[in-house]
Amino acid sequence: MRAIVTLVFLAGATCAHAQDLSISGGVMQSDNPDARSFALGFLYTHELGTHLAASVGYRNEGHVPGHHRDGQVALAWLKGSAFAPELSFAVGGGPYHYFDTTIAEGGGPQAFNDAHGWGWLYGASATWQPRASRWFYQLRMERTETGHNLDTVMVMAGVGYHLEQDGTFKANSSGQAWARVRDDEVFGALGQTIVNSFESQSAGAGTLEYRHAFGPVIRASVGWIHENDTRLVRRDGIAVQGWLEPSFSGDRFTLGVGLGAYISVDEYRPGTHDVLGLVTMTASHRFASHWVGRFSWHRVSTGHDRDSDIILLGAGYQF
């Protein structure tokens, strides 16, 4: 239900036309254990009005003793300017879906647990955007509260770029709404699968996928994923996902987030067919009339401590 609420929240954000993409880095301080590490993150933000915005993004809270945690966020912001037109401030918060690699009893490379859970992330930001520039610079302070896991504070500095979504929801000068020329795509890619353990065992991975656009933002896909032998998992299966994926610059670029299921068979779990959660971030660039380059990052969520990240780069043909 929380995933559905998050997608509905993001679908409402796609009605806006001003978007920002930002990346930031800094330090993280955890409460228990009392430790410090790095912090990384990126956000994709839609302006919903003069003083309201919505974001979806990713946070990596570094490595502290017994914890390697990261996750996805969906945030709402109140914002305004002060002191100068180029300077703006925002406060907000929202749900944080985290994945934490924690210590398990025993020894050896399999002595870990993959803890999943929900918490809250809230914070404040200050942004400087020079006049007549699409680039902006940002300072952020954020706090996570999870109840049954780490509570942390992150201080980060970053840079971002102001995007212009294709005129999907408004008519152009001739009175016609913008429309995508090709709705279908066949995509193939190779990359790496990385187990969410303290040793991050990895192996090769690949995918073959069919994607269809049902409108300006909503898409769906079905495909085959192969994860080679990491000595902890060796999986193959069918992935089915729904997507929010707006386009920019006349459909030359897209950014998207997908949610779905990964129906897999694992050689290390003989006789079982697992239905796993799959959350994916993707970006594409159309470099020819029918051809696109695409990057995808799958996060596989299991119930048996074999989560993985599948990072893929490949090409697709649109028709």
pLDDT tens-digit map of 155-191: 999 999 998 887 654 544 555 556 677 899 999 999 9
Whether omega before 246 lies within 30 degrees of 0, making that bond cis, reads no
Q: Which residues contact 316 (CB under 8 A, 6 or more apart)?
A: 185, 186, 187, 188, 211, 284, 291, 292, 293, 294
pLDDT confidence tier of residue 37, bands split at 50, 70 and 90: very high
Sign of CA dihedral 35, 37, 42, 45: positive
Report the predicted TM-score, pTM, of the whole model to 2 decimal places: 0.88
CA dist 135 and 20 (Å) reads 9
**What is the structure's pLDDT at 110?**
55
pLDDT confidence tier of residue 192, bands split at 50, 70 and 90: very high
Instruction: With residue 5 as reference, give the H or E element that holds it.
Output: helix 2-13
**What is the structure's pLDDT at 8?**
42
**What is the structure's pLDDT at 147?**
86
Q: Which two tokens stand for residue 286?
A: 């159309």
Whether the pLDDT of residue 141 is over 60: the answer is yes
